[in-house]
Chain A
Amino acid sequence: AQSVAQPEDQVNVAEGNPLTVKCTYSVSGNPYLFWYVQYPNRGLQFLLKYITGDNLVKGSYGFEAEFNKSQTSFHLKKPSALVSDSALYFCAVRAGYSSASKIIFGSGTRLSIRP
């Protein structure tokens, strides 16, 4: 069965420093991976998705994600954190090979950027 794990409940980073939010996945076949961000009292916003063949995927708000097939990871990164990046981040995987398959979300990582 397809699954996704976010090993850290919370990540704390100083403003201006690089940030990484970790995600590992378990799928059979090609992975369809996504990152979402949730601000307080809002729905989830799509940040980026894995594109087959691209080990570094660029997304919204300066975020990027590094895909590593051997480590089955899809970590979210940003070179220089902003206080406004503080939010809840979810990694997700599609549990099948069609757009009709459900998407399973990780447990979420709370990112806190201190000024």
Chain B
Amino acid sequence: DSGVTQTPKHLITATGQRVTLRCSPRSGDLSVYWYQQSLDQGLQFLIQYYNGEERAKGNILERFSAQQFPDLHSELNLSSLELGDSALYFCASSVGRQGPNSPLHFGNGTRLTVT
């Protein structure tokens, strides 16, 4: 068990809808990362937060947004959903203070299916 909790595990919704994915990092971890994993692709970095502030942005669509709250949990909001948004969405956390060698710890992901 990595200590990173993601909810829900599965989400089925229709095109055009909006969903929110939630992540609770490991206790003590300040950094939260979001990744998208599609069938044909590897892990695509979406966005990273550190102690409530956005630190890095990847190939995140304008329809997607995220935030990290004062209690350090994070939410990824996906709106105007399209069929191509169907994927596994992973959250990962790291301490952030241990330097660039600190590894990421991943949750088990949320599987989003858009129909």
Contacts and interface: CB of A to CB of B under 8 A. Distances in A.
Contacts of A96: 100
A32 B100 contact: yes
Contacts of B102: 99
A100 B31 contact: yes
Given A32-B100, A43-B2, A49-B103, A103 B55 contact: no
The dominant DSSP class at the B interface is loop
B48 to A, nearest CB: 5
A24 to B, nearest CB: 15
A45 to B, nearest CB: 7
The dominant DSSP class at the A interface is loop
Interface string B95-106: 111111111111
B64 interface: no
B42 A102 contact: no
- Could you say which interface size class chain B belongs to? 20 to 34
Nearest to A95: B56
Interface residues of A, number: 27
B56 A45 contact: no
A22 interface: no
Contacts of A32: 100-101
Contacts of B96: 99-100
Interface stretch (A12-20, A69-77, A79-87, A104-112): A104-112
A102 B58 contact: yes
Interface of B: 2, 4, 31, 33, 35, 41-43, 45, 48, 50, 55-56, 58, 90, 92, 94-109
6 nearest CB pairs, A to B: A43-B106, A105-B43, A102-B56, A107-B42, A46-B103, A32-B100
Given A32-B101, A101-B56, 10 more contacts: A32-B100, A36-B104, A36-B106, A43-B4, A44-B90, A50-B101, A99-B98, A100-B31, A102-B58, A105-B42
